[in-house]
Structures are given as C-alpha cells and as structure tokens.
Amino acid sequence: MKCFSFLLIIIFTDGVVSKKVCNYMDVLDYLNLTKDNNAFKLTRPVLDYTHPTIVELDILLYAILAVIEKTQTFIPFIWATLKWNHERISWDPAQFCGISQVAIPRDMLWKPDLFIYEMIEKDDSPLNPYILLASDGSVYSEEDMRVVSTCKMDVHKFPFDTQKCNITIGSAIHCVNEMRIFPCSNSSRATQFSREVMKTQGEWEFLQLSVSSTNITFSGRKWEHLIYTFTMKRRPLLHVINFLLPILFFLFLDIASFFIADHRGEKLGFKVTVLLAISVLLLILNDILPSMSNKTPLIATYCIVIFALMLLSLLETILVTYLIDKDSVCQEKFRLKEDKKEEVKTPNCKMEVKRPTCCSCTFKVSAGGKQHELLPVAEEVNSISQSGDSHLLLSILAELKEMQHTVNVRLNCRTEGGKFVLWAARINRAFFIFYISTVSLFLLLIFVEWHI
Ligand SMILES: *[C@@H]1O[C@H](CO)[C@@H](O)[C@H](O)[C@H]1NC(C)=O
Ligand SMILES: *[C@@H]1O[C@H](CO)[C@@H](O)[C@H](O)[C@H]1NC(C)=O
C-alpha cells in the first residue's frame, strides 16, 4: 500500500513538473531526415517534376575589395541569401512545442546549383556550415563570398571614371522550366541595404546596385539569369595628387624656364631635367592602365601632349642656344684677331723703352699698313713731329686709330651676330606666345572632356 502511494506520488509530480520537452532531433526524426537518407538531397525537391523550383535570391554588397584596371578584375565581397522550397518537408510546429525552424548541416539537403558566370577564381573563404529549414519546407541559405570576377572596364576617363561591373547568376544545368530565379529585393532596396551594410569603400564610392533578369537561350534550352550591376565611382584625389598635379607643375616649371637667360646652357639643362622627371611619371601610368583599350585614355593624351609640348620647347631652346652661340663664335673670332695683332706688335715695341715711343712705333706700323688712308692727318702730324710735345699728340692719335680699328671690327661682328640674337629673341617671343596659348587651350579642352 505504502509502495503504491509512493508510485502515485511519483506519477503525480511527474505530471505537474514535466511539460512536454521537445528538441530538434524530434523534428528530424519525424521527417526521417538523417545523414544517410538520400531522399532529400538526390533530386530536385518537387512532388511533380513539371513544377519549377523557385529560388529567391538576394545579394548585398559588403565591400569593394579591389578594382584592378590592368587585369580588368573586380573583387567585391558580397552577401548572398538564397531561399527555395523543399516540397517533401513540412511539419506542424504545434506538435513540436512550436519549433518552426531547424538549422541542419549544409550537405543534408538538395541545393540549387547557382554559380556566378564572371567568377574567374574559386572562392576560398569558408562556407557557412548550416542552412535553415522552416516548417513550411522553405530552406534558407546564406553565404559570404569574395568574388573574383572579370569586368570590362572603360578607362577612357581615368581617374575621373565610373565603372559598372556585372555579376550574372544562374543555374548551371536547370533550365527555366525547372528552376526560376527571382530577386528578393528590387534595385532600390538592394542599393539601400548595401549602403547600410557597406564596411569599407576605399578608393571606390559605391553608387548603385541594380538587378535585372534575362533569359539565355542555348541549343534550344532556356536558362534564366539574374544580373546584378554594381556601379561605383572612383575617388580621384590620390591620382590627382600623385599624377596629374605633378605633371602640371612640371609644365608650369617649363613655362617658367622661358625667363631663364638663354646663354650658357642653363636653360637647356633645366628643360632636359624637367622632361626626364615627366618620363619617370609616365612609367607609373604604365603600371596602372591596361595596355589595350578601345578608346585612348584621356590621361594618356594628357601626358603625351604635355610631353610633346615640353619636347618642342626643348627643341626651341636648342635652336635659340645655337643662334646665340653662332653670335658668340663671331665675337670669339674677333678676340682672336685682337690677340694676333698684339703678338705682331710686341716684338717691335720691345726694343723701345719709353712708352710714348712705343706708341709712336705702333702708329708707324699701322700707318705703313692699310690704315693709311683712314687717317690722312697722321702723315701731316708725322711730318711736324720734330717738336717735343708732338710726341704726346702722336701717341693720342695712335690710340685713337687703334680704337677706331677695334670699333670697326666689333661693329662688323655686331651687325652679323646681332642678326642671330635678334632672330633668337623673335623666335623666343613667338614660341612663348604659341606655347602659352596651346597649353591653356589644351588644358581647358581636356578638363572639359574629363568633366563631362
Ligand atoms: C522513415 O524511415 C523509415 C525506415 O528507414 C520508414 O519505416 C518510415 O516510414 C519513414 N518515415 C517517414 C515519415 O517517411
Ligand atoms: C524568361 O522566361 C520565362 C519563362 O518562359 C518568362 O516567364 C520570363 O518572363 C522570361 N524572362 C525574360 C526576362 O524574358
């Protein structure tokens, strides 16, 4: 009796304390969903094979990891959500203490075979190991993916460019009457969500994510594809500071070098240095831009035209320096002539000791030569040079003659060389005006083109 009542108590307390306890295994047991049960993963999960499986897809952009113009590669980090219906699965949550969804390992169920057409490298980031199973048979799968995709980029306006890259998602083998793909959120929602979750933006400013659907027909079968288009705009500041401005500065330096004096070759050296600096910058450009492009990038035009202008100004400087040099060669000749005369004079003078006599000697030498008719007065003075102070007069006369000769030679040289200097100055002025106008016109045009 005692024993019986004890049993009753146990039954009684059990009834009060134990509510019904459920766990996820109950659900899986009910569904017969085990690792070994292939019925859930072998075939497309429909009860009637003519039913297409409807896959709802949602893609958000987490980050733009890289956009590489040189190799035309676009690497976004995306977050993809998939939802489809497994028609063999359903349970009543009320029977299982309200359990409405179960997370199960990814490989226990059939999954749609979606893949990204532009992907050129297998994604090695770890997959989320679970998928979510809801009581009505919906299956949710989430994936974070680093997508290395090709993207045809137009670098015409680099670095003020906007790029559009596509990610096309479709089934590999199921055509449109077996699998339909729909975007879960439309373009504006996807753009807004992406803006909210965007982690890093770096060089690129994300503008828009739009989605569209197309059908691809291939050998009589039709596949449905979703195309996600990412639009982003480059932040040009780095390239402007690194590249455009330095080249512009060098151009200004080149213009400023017009105010350096032409002779002695300093200007030439300066211009060559500036030109070399630009060619170093051009090497950087080679690293950034793809070697082939259907439309010449504006930045290449910018560099080449500035380079050509500076080359032209260097050539002009060479020409002007050449002209001026020609002039100084004449002066050099004149100086040599002078030196020779000195040499001729000195042996005669050496014998005399007194300076006035030396001068008179000089005079005699000259007077005997072709200078004779230039100063006919000399003869007269010579004839009356017996008196003592006439010596002084004679020496003055001699000096004058010498000066006249010098001036004559120098004037000859001037009129000949002066022509070159004059031409050099003219060329300089004309080229400066041409240079300034060309540079300003070109800069204006190219910046307008860049801005449009
Ligand atoms: C589960 O599988 C067992 C055999 O493995 C079978 O007897 C049972 O009927 C199945 N239950 C359901 C609900 O399919
Ligand atoms: C693709 O084909 C399906 C089925 O034929 C059709 O319903 C859908 O409108 C088509 N989509 C486009 C973008 O043509």
CATH of the domain at 203: 2.70.170.10
Q: What pTM does this model have? A: 0.73
Residue 12: how many other CB atoms lie within 10 Å: 10
pLDDT of residue 256: 93
Tokens representing 73 are 């590669």
Ligand 2 pocket member 176 (CB < 6 A):
yes
Same-domain check for residues 96 and 221: yes
Ligand 2 pocket member 213 (CB < 6 A):
yes
Same-domain check for residues 130 and 82: yes
Measured by CA distance, the residue closest to atom 4 of ligand 2 is: 176
Sequential pLDDT tens for the chain (452 residues)? 444 444 444 444 444 456 788 999 999 999 999 888 888 989 999 999 999 999 999 999 999 999 988 889 999 999 999 999 999 899 999 999 999 999 999 989 999 999 999 999 988 888 889 999 999 999 999 999 999 999 998 888 888 999 999 999 999 899 999 999 999 999 999 999 999 988 667 889 999 999 999 999 988 899 999 999 999 999 999 889 988 999 999 999 999 998 888 766 788 889 999 999 888 888 887 777 776 667 788 888 898 899 999 999 999 999 988 888 887 776 666 666 666 665 555 444 444 444 444 444 444 444 444 444 444 454 555 555 556 677 888 888 888 888 887 776 666 655 555 788 888 889 999 999 999 999 999 999 999 999 88
Same-domain check for residues 177 and 245: no
CA angle, corner 251, sides to 247 and 253, nearest 5? 115
Identify the domain containing residue 167 by its residue range.
Answer: 30-235
Give CA–CA dist 198/235, Å, rounded: 16
For 110, residues 6+ apart whose C-beta sits below 8 A from its C-beta are 40, 41, 42, 43, 44, 45, 86
Among 235, 265, 293, residue at a domain's last position: 235
Question: 224, 225, 227: which to mutate for ligand 2, most atoms within 8 A of CB?
Answer: 224
Same-domain check for residues 222 and 251: no
pLDDT of residue 438: 96
pLDDT of residue 82: 95
- Among the bound ligands, name the one nearest to the CA of residue 222: 2
SS3 90: coil
Q: Are 146 and 77 in contact (CB under 8 A)?
A: yes
Among 235, 259, 277, residue at a domain's last position: 235
- Among the bound ligands, name the one nearest to the CA of residue 38: 1
Considering its fold, how many domains does the chain have in total? 2
* Ligand 2 atom closest to 224 (CA): 1
Q: Are 180 and 53 in contact (CB under 8 A)?
A: yes
Ligand 2 pocket member 224 (CB < 6 A):
yes
For residue 174, report the distance from its CA to the centre of ligand 2, in Å.
Answer: 14
Same-domain check for residues 282 and 171: no
237-256 as b/e, with b when 16 or more CB fall inside 10 Å?
eebeeebbebbeebbeebbe
Q: Tell whether 128 is covered by a domain.
A: yes
pLDDT of residue 9: 42
Ligand 2 pocket member 217 (CB < 6 A):
no
Decide the pairing of beta strands 179-183 and 53-68: parallel
Measured by CA distance, the residue closest to atom 13 of ligand 2 is: 214
Ligand 2 pocket member 177 (CB < 6 A):
no
Question: 51, 55, 215: which to mutate for ligand 2, most atoms within 8 A of CB?
Answer: 215
Measured by CA distance, the residue closest to atom 2 of ligand 2 is: 215
For residue 177, report the distance from its CA to the centre of ligand 2, in Å.
Answer: 10
For residue 142, report the distance from its CA to the centre of ligand 2, in Å.
Answer: 26
